[in-house]
Amino acid sequence: MSEQIKTTAEYIRTATGDYRPEVGIILGTGLGDFADRIEAAHVLDYKSIPGFPVSTVEGHKGRLIFGEIEGRRVVAMQGRFHYYEGYGMQQVTFPVRVMALLGIRCLFVSNASGGINTSFRTGDLMVITDHINLMPNPLIGPNMAEFGPRFPDMHNCYDKELIARATAIAEREGIKLQYGVYVGGTGPTFETQAEYRYFKAIGGDAAGMSTVPEVIVARHMSIPVFGMSVITNCGLSDEIGDHEDVQLQGRKAGARMETIFRALIREL
Ligand code: HPA
């Protein structure tokens, strides 16, 4: 696996004329529009990258975009790999390791999620302050010691300094933020009412099907992470989860999320 990661990173380095991104960005469901506004220097379709899995889910383009945001070099994943698509955890997290080898020193993650905290409303933006992992851990298996320790610490997974800066930016821009714990399940089913109540009881504020594996792997490598969820539905109300709604709410809140991401990147 570690050889494949190196080979893929080497391929990308050559294909992009040794473009060195400082920041990695993973854009979730309905949030891909942001990537279209990157001043792109190189765009690579996942299917053209040796070793890369290929995205299958509707609403996800599958490409890696290299370019500048606010004058800083970034690499953005427009579309991610989900465990529920049938990929193994090694595949789900493969791009994060590759981005690390390309030199990112900070990872921004985003997703669509279901609100569990009853004070949340559809369309809210939640800063992820911590997570609960209910998926298989992506670090199960022989430890790749060149990337990090066998038993990585998961305190402060979500960088406190970046959260504080996001708070200041949101105040300045008049953007309302929620804060909370993201519960990552496998999907692809949305939760039952009993499961939403269970997620609430164990301390969750939002439920989703992604992000946690990538964050664990980034933290294994000690890369600082900033994460945001768009609350696309409220799990404990009577409404029923629906993929189209998730995409629509994602796009609407995406503009506010983009403002926060841009300002954070500018100030890094
Ligand atoms: N549960 C899990 N994942 C989700 C949800 C949800 O309610 N909404 C959007 N992604």
pLDDT single digits (tens) 67-117? 999 999 999 999 899 999 999 999 999 999 999 999 999 999 999 999 999
Tell me which of 132, 181, 209 to substitute to probe ligand 1's pocket, judged by most ligand atoms within 8 Å of the beta carbon.
209
Contact between 251 and 30 under an 8 Å Cβ cutoff? The reply is: yes
Give the position, in ligand 1's atom list, of the atom nearest the Cα of 191. Answer: 1
Q: What is the pLDDT of residue 189?
A: 96
Read off the pTM.
0.95
pLDDT tens by residue, 33-78 = 888 889 899 999 999 999 998 766 555 578 999 999 999 999 999 9
- Ligand 1 pocket, residue 180 CB under 6 Å: no
CB of 29 sitting under 6 A from ligand 1? no
pLDDT > 90: percent of the chain? 80
The pLDDT of residue 55:
60
223-266 pLDDT tens trace: 999 999 999 998 888 666 677 777 777 777 889 999 999 999 99
pLDDT of residue 60: 54
**Main-chain dihedrals φ then ψ at residue 51, nearest 5 degrees:** 90, -15
In angstroms, what is the span from residue 245 Cα to ligand 1's centroid?
11
- Looking at residue 248, what is its pLDDT? 76
Q: Is the dihedral of CA 234, 116, 163, 40 positive or negative?
A: negative
How high is the mean pLDDT of the chain?
93
Residue 91 CB–ligand 1 contact under 6 Å? no
Distance CA 27, CA 229 (A): 10
Ligand 1 within 6 A of CB of 30: no
Q: Which residue's alpha carbon is nearest to atom 7 within ligand 1?
A: 114
Q: Locate the ligand 1 atom nearest the alpha carbon of residue 235 and give its number.
A: 7
Q: How far is the CA of 50 from the centre of ligand 1 (A)?
A: 31
> How far is the C-alpha of 66 from the C-alpha of 41, rounded, in Å?
6
The arithmetic mean of pLDDT across residues 156-184, rounded, is 97
> Is 9 a pocket residue for ligand 1 (Cβ < 6 Å)?
no
